[in-house]
Structure 1
Amino acid sequence: MSIKITEECINCGACEPECPNQAIYEGGKKWRMSDGTSLENKKILDSTIFQKPKKKDIYFIIPEKCTECVGFYNQPQCIMICPVQCCIPDQENYENKEKLLQKKIFLHESD
């Protein structure tokens, strides 16, 4: 499953640089699937188009980019670093370890 950031977020920004997929964005910021991934090299057109922010006032995580750090670390780094424990598993976006690893490969392996 992906991780989500709850309303308890204090906007400290500690989580953003820890994400190996660049799936975490500051509130109000536009995002792209290609940010921090190799999707731009795969010529997936949608990956370079800016998307609307998911939240305006707090940091947010893009579920399609979140792999719970599978393939990079043993634990999700955002959960480990968050000083107020507002990064939590998103029960609505469940994916098993195999699917998370496939997503990591899709996001980062070149053609």
Structure 2
Amino acid sequence: MALIITDECINCDVCEPECPNNAIYQGDEIYEIDPDKCTECVGHFDEPQCQQVCPVDCIPLDPDRPETHDQLMEKFVKLTSKS
């Protein structure tokens, strides 16, 4: 699953630089995650780095985008391939 940022976000700016896929960006009101770039850090780290640094725990899995570990790995390969 891709991750989402909920309305509890306090715009503290700590998650954005932690994302190895540059999936996190400043939205109109809070930070947002591009689900096409989010791999939950699969391929980079053992745990989603944004979740690790978030002080308000507002980055859950997106229930509308179920993805298996293999699908996340495929997305990682596509994002990091030099084509």
Q: Same fold (TM over 0.5)?
A: yes
- Root-mean-square deviation over aligned CA pairs: 0.6
- CA distance, structure 1, for counterparts of residue 51 and residue 63 of structure 2: 15
Secondary structure of 1:89's aligned partner: coil
Secondary structure of 1:4's aligned partner: coil
- CA distance, structure 1, for counterparts of residue 35 and residue 66 of structure 2: 10
Aligned to 2:67: 95
* Number of residue-to-residue matches in the alignment: 83
Q: Letter of the 2:68 partner, please give it.
A: N
Q: Which has the larger radius of gyration?
A: 1
Q: Letter of the 1:93 partner, please give it.
A: R
Q: Which runs of 5+ in 1 are unaligned?
A: 28-55
TM-score (norm 2): 0.97
Output one character per residue of 1:55-81: Cα deviation in whole Å (capped at 9) or x when no partner: x10000000110000000000011110
Aligned to 1:12: 12
Give the CA deviation at 1:106: 0.3
- CA distance, structure 1, for counterparts of residue 51 and residue 44 of structure 2: 14
- CA distance, structure 2, for counterparts of residue 79 and residue 91 of structure 1: 16
TM-score (norm 1): 0.73
- CA distance, structure 2, for counterparts of residue 23 and residue 81 of structure 1: 15
Give the CA deviation at 1:109: 1.0
Q: Which runs of 5+ in 2 are unaligned?
A: none
Aligned to 2:45: 73
Identical residues among aligned pairs (%): 51
